[in-house]
Amino acid sequence: MVLYKANPSVWPTDPKQALAVWEGVVAGGDHLLTTGALKEVGWFTDQEGFGIFEAESKDQVLGMIQPFGPFYSPVIHEIVPWDKAKVALLESARRSASR
């Protein structure tokens, strides 16, 4: 999951130029959704949102979101699916309890 926040200081102040940036952002999001790499994207505010990607690694996600910089600052979080997480957590807790 990528959490992103706009960097207002680098956005153009001219409305026509800002529109061009927005059009590029929307086109980029649509492209990633169409390819299937981006599974979901949403906004918390007009400057902050999230994207859920499906990729083999964080570096692949980093490559996919690079075109959105410097207009947005991303924070990439790897999500561990429930089935894998519960096994790992229980195994660790059992090892600790057996000492």
What does the pLDDT average to over 53-63? 93
pLDDT of residue 7: 95
pLDDT band at 34 (very low <50, low <70, confident <90, very high): very high
Side chain identity at residue 76, one-letter code: I
Supply the pTM of this predicted model: 0.81
pLDDT of residue 51: 97
Which domains are present in the chain? Answer: 2-97 (3.30.70.1060)
The token pair at 61 is 């996600």
pLDDT of residue 13: 95
What does the pLDDT average to over 29-44? 96
